Amino acid sequence: MPQLGLLPRRACAALLSQLLRPPCAYSPGVVHCHSQVAEAVLTSQLKPHQEKTNFIIKTPKGTRDLSPQQMVVREKVLDLVVSCFKRHGAKGLDTPAFELKELLTEKYGEDSGLIYDLKDQGGELLSLRYDLTVPFARYLAMNKVKKMKRYHVGKVWRRESPTMVQGRYREFCQCDFDIAGQFDSMIPDAECLKIMCEILSGLQLGDFLIKVNDRRIVDGMFAVCGVPESKFRAIGSSIDKLDKMSWKDVRHEMVAKKGLAPEVADQIGDYVQCHGGVTLVEQMFQDPRLSQNKRALEGLEDLKLLFEYLTLFGISEKISFDLSLVRGLDYYTGVIYEAILLQTPAQAGEEPLSVGSVAAGGRYDGLVGMFDPKGHNVPCVGLSIGVERIFSIVEQRMKTSGEKVRTTETQVFVATPQNNFLQERLKLIAELWDAGIKAEMLYKNNPKLLTQLHYCENMGIPLVVIIGEQELKEGVIKLRSVASREEVAIKHENLVAEIRKRLSES
């Protein structure tokens, strides 16, 4: 594997260049210190009487806390996603948040600069994981696993300029499903697309479309248009921006910044506006130039088979063969796909408007081999659900609907109308907890009854048990429905059974 062979040489070159840098190369750091010190001194001189200087309490740039409201949405979405992964027979897997730095090198193309490195505090050089795919490939190679269907839900980190709109952060959650192993063509690939459809339908996010293409078709297209092979990835990453930028701007980037001949760019332009169903695949087989390219033909053969399977799965109408789909990451080798949500059903004659990618993936048959000492490959295909964007959409929808979201699951509140009943309340609530009932009480010796009932209404707790002197004497507990305000006295020994009955009915 030439990729791996390059690693030590590059590392060596980097070290040498560091070594040969004159001492003054360190000075920017020193200057930086200077200005920081100056600022600190200045601040403390300017505010001599203030006890505290400006100490900003915040989360790091591009990150955020998830509030209980957000956690409820997250739990709901992740439950649906994970249960779909399990429905398709996937096993769970987890990997560390950081990897050896060198393991992440040269896997992400132009995006490598976005990797978070850990400080060298002695020992190994480490980086935070950038996705869940490379760690999965590392796991397969390290454990010599030749076949595995796994899912992984976890955070990844990327030092992007944080545009906080539409759920883009520097820390975000990924939900990945991948199938590793040598199998008959396109069967696992079709299952990945089926999974994307099941999840997007299940989440009821509205209409969606999955664009598919194949890296071999992309490369073939570049080759027949006359893009030099050394520019394939760079031009690909320009094309990849077509969902955010106009063709004019993309063309400009390719020609002015990446040195592509204008006529080559125009030829690409003709291809990348093509999208359609299986008939477009047939059409491309007839394309006089593309059909001359061996790799493109392989890709087209696979897409044809894929569409056949997608029809059997009943999802072919959700899939669009789209020649503008490239996918930025270096490691894809075959089929690639990306799901987008379509805003509100399109008016007659109008193109449906895209609101951005919510799931994506593809085939990466060479990645495991980059980690294997002997270069042994394990073909893989997988997908990643863009849950952060989905969280934002669901949160937004909840806000708009004005629906009140419960952030706790408490079923019963333990109340008293009287003073000096803490002991009885503590005994009673322990009884409920021990019976598996979700219960709360106020942490006060003598709370007012109204305060207690208000708490239940605010928190959406459906039942209240009330204990007072009268009840204690009679061996009963009052059970109150918060919604109807009805109260009944229940024999203490029957209380748990009655609560369970009420909860199972509601």
Three-class SS of residue 183?
A: coil
Choice from 228, 314, 345, 475 touching a second copy (CB under 8 A): 314
62 by DSSP, 3-state: which? coil
CB of 140 to a second copy, least distance (A): 10
Element containing residue 452 per DSSP (H, E): helix 449-459
Determine if 117 is a binding residue for a second copy (CB under 8 A): yes
Contact indicator for 378, 145 with CB cutoff of 8 Å:
yes
According to the annotation, is 311 in a ligand binding site? no
Residues in binding contact with a second copy, number by CB under 8 A: 119
Nearest to a second copy of 246, 420 (CB atom): 420
The one-character DSSP state at 290 is G
Restricted to residues 50-69, the positions that interact with a second copy (CB under 8 A) are 51-53, 55-61, 63-68
SS3 55: coil
Residue 65 makes CB contacts below 8 A (sequence gap 6+) with 59
Q: Figure out which of the listed residues 104, 107, 130, 138 binds a second copy, where binding follows CB under 8 A.
A: 138
CB of 437 to a second copy, least distance (A): 7
Q: How far is the CB of 426 from a second copy (least distance, A)?
A: 4
CA–CA dist 343, 354 (Å, integer): 6
Q: Which of 104, 126, 340, 358 contacts a second copy by CB under 8 A?
A: 126
Check binding of 439 to a second copy (CB under 8 A). yes
CA–CA separation, 72 vs 405, rounded Å? 8
User: Which of these ranges, 333-341, 438-446, 463-471, 475-483, lies near a second copy under the rule CB under 8 A?
Assistant: 438-446
Q: Which of 146, 257, 376, 438 binds a second copy (CB under 8 A)?
A: 438
* Stretch of residues binding a second copy (CB under 8 A), selected from 41-49, 345-353, 357-365, 480-488: 41-49
Rounded to whole angstroms, the Cα distance separating 222 from 232 reads 7
Contact (Cβ atoms closer than 8 angstroms) between residue 208 and residue 200: yes
x-marked contacts with a second copy along 151-170 as a string, rule CB under 8 A: ----x-x-x-----------
Among positions 76, 78, 80, 95, the unique one binding a second copy when judged by CB under 8 A: 95
Quickly count: other Cβ atoms within 10 Å of residue 478's Cβ: 18
The secondary element (H helix, E strand) that includes residue 174 is strand 171-180
- Asked whether the beta carbons of 80 and 386 are under 8 A apart, the reply is no
Length of the chain: 506
Tokens representing residue 163 in the block: 């545009």
Closer by beta carbon to a second copy, 309 or else 364: 309
Binding status of residue 194 toward a second copy by CB under 8 A: yes
Answer for which of 312, 346, 353, 483 binds a second copy (CB under 8 A) is 312
